[in-house]
Amino acid sequence: MRGDFSKKVYQVVRKIPKGRVMTYGQIARQLGKPQAARAVGNILHQNTSLEIPCHRVVNKKGKIALRFAFGGGKEQKRKLLIEGIKFKDKIHVDLEKSLISDN
């Protein structure tokens, strides 16, 4: 069951377009598990594949993952900036401009 949920999380994350972000909670809700935001985060923090753009996932306040799996928060921010993501401050994405809507 856990492996199946992980695969579904990765499928959703692969579909996040460049220049956009989603939150852990959005991914959980999209998969029908609204209480599983933390599980989504844990799954993404265990990701070892560079093909899964987990840098495009932030918390509900837009905060990047300071312990991002591929080089820490600075690397996550660098990747997002390259894609045109705007930040409100050093560690918070401007969700109004970059968040994929829940629909």
Q: Which residues are catalytic?
A: 54
The CA distance from 62 to 58, in Å, is 5
Q: How many helical (H) and strand (E) elements, i.e. helices and strands, does the chain have?
A: 5, 2
Q: How many alpha carbons lie under 13 Å from residue 16 in its C-beta half-sphere? A: 29
Structure token pair of residue 26: 């959005």
* Pair 85, 19: CB distance under 8 Å: yes
The region, left, alpha or beta by phi > 0 then psi within -120 to 50, assigned to residue 49 is: beta
